[in-house]
């Protein structure tokens, strides 16, 4: 769908964001520094505010926009529903309840949640990668998805922030991040075991390449594999808060396969996932600290190959696939400063720019047409 206003909003937002986040005076090759933002500077606050205005004050944008608005209006503006009588996590419930008592519209809730989410994302991405990573969040359609998976995107933001504590081996801060994320989407608790992996030992270039290729064929047997997941949920669904929440999916369309259009975009992203894994070995040799990013992404890519059209598992795989924006940023940055292979960076950014324009056209996650609240 071609809607001029929609293109102006999204393209202007992306271009302005990149201008605000780009700092030409701090070009530090990543192999020498993997530092994170300690304080959010003025330009970054402007970026967070701008993107939160677009996200927060949207109208009928996002697949779940109607559901979130209807629940907010019913649970908080009309009935002051107690926590145990609704199904959202406590963090989202608490924020909704506060705004409901203030008799503010749902747009103010969306705006505030967006401020929180993008603030955490800014602090969770290595400083020198921030402009490129934000570009890929937009172009890889995660920005559009964030206006659909509102609560999970908050959890994903805290997950991104927590990875620096995996790298620095700071368990307490890692757990705090995950717990904060779980206040908005409990599924993030499932990533806790990944703190304890020895990423340098388990990373094996040939193994991940082989598993990726095998997973392409395992997708043909996803129904049998899915049946095993359903049996596990039936058996253990009531044993914990996390699995109990998701065991209700096993009799719904959210657990079973959903129609997925296997077009050029789908196959192109699969090819890019494979290229990233192929390049991972040479990238990791430059800096061993980035190994967790590539390992976790590879796990997500393999899961996606098998369960690409299973909505529940697809939701869980977002915690791994979101790292595609980080590894793409790393690859783009490195190859840009390698004159002989600069074409690799140009190819990635060109392809994803086209993907961004196409995502608006096809209304990815119901992002188009965009309109502000009346």
CB hemisphere CA count around 70 (13 angstroms): 6
Tell me how far apart the alpha carbons of residues 157 and 45 are, in angstroms, rounded to a whole number: 16
Other Cβ atoms within 10 Å of 287 Cβ, number: 16
CA 35 to chain centre: 21
Tell me how far apart the alpha carbons of residues 169 and 157 are, in angstroms, rounded to a whole number: 19
Encode the chain (374 residues) as per-residue pLDDT tens digits.
688 999 999 999 999 999 999 864 455 555 556 788 888 999 999 999 999 999 999 999 999 999 999 999 988 887 788 898 888 999 999 999 999 999 999 999 999 999 999 999 999 999 889 999 999 999 999 999 999 999 999 999 999 999 999 999 999 999 999 999 999 999 999 999 999 999 999 999 999 999 999 999 887 665 656 666 556 556 655 444 554 554 444 444 343 443 445 567 778 889 999 999 999 999 999 889 999 999 999 999 999 988 877 776 777 889 999 999 999 999 999 998 887 889 999 999 999 999 999 999 999 999 999 999 98
pLDDT of residue 230: 58
pTM of the model as a whole: 0.89
pLDDT of residue 25: 44
Phi-psi region of 89 (alpha: psi -120 to 50; beta: other; left: phi over 0): beta
pLDDT of residue 219: 72
- Domain residue limits, the chain: 1-190+346-374, 197-336
């Amino acid at each position: 769908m071609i809607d001029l206003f929609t293109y102006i909003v999204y393209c202007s937002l992306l271009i302005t964001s990149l201008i605000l986040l780009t700092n030409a005076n701090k070009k530090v090759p990543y192999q020498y520094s993997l530092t994170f933002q300690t304080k959010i500077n003025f330009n970054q606050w402007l970026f967070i505010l701008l993107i939160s205005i677009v996200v927060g004050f949207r109208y009928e944008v996002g697949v779940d926009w109607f559901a979130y608005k209807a629940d907010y209006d019913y649970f908080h503006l009309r009935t002051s529903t107690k926590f145990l009588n609704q199904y959202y996590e406590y963090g989202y419930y608490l924020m909704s309840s506060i705004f409901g008592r203030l008799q503010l519209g749902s747009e103010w809730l969306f705006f505030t949640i967006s401020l929180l989410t993008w603030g955490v994302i800014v602090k969770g991405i290595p400083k020198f990668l921030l402009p490129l990573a934000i570009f890929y969040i937009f172009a890889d359609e995660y920005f559009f998805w964030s206006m659909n998976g509102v609560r999970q995107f908050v959890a994903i933001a805290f997950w991104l922030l927590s990875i620096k504590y995996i790298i620095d081996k700071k368990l307490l801060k890692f757990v705090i991040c995950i717990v904060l994320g779980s206040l908005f989407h409990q599924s993030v608790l499932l990533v806790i075991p990944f703190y304890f992996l020895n990423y340098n030992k388990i990373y094996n270039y040939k193994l991940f390449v082989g598993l990726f290729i095998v997973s392409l064929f395992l997708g043909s047997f996803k129904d049998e594999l899915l049946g095993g997941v359903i049996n596990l949920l039936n058996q253990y669904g009531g044993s914990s808060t996390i699995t109990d929440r998701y065991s209700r999916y096993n009799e719904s369309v959210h657990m079973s396969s959903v129609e997925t259009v296997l077009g050029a975009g789908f196959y192109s992203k699969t090819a890019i996932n494979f290229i990233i894994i192929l390049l991972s070995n040479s990238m990791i040799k430059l800096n061993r600290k980035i190994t967790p990013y590539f390992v976790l992404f590879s796990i997500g890519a393999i899961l996606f190959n098998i369960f690409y059209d299973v909505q529940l598992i697809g939701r869980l795989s977002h915690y791994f696939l979101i790292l595609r924006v980080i590894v793409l940023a790393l690859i783009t940055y490195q190859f840009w400063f390698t004159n002989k292979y600069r074409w690799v960076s140009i190819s990635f950014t060109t392809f994803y720019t086209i993907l961004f324009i196409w995502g608006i056209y096809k209304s990815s996650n119901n992002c188009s047409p965009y309109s502000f609240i009346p």
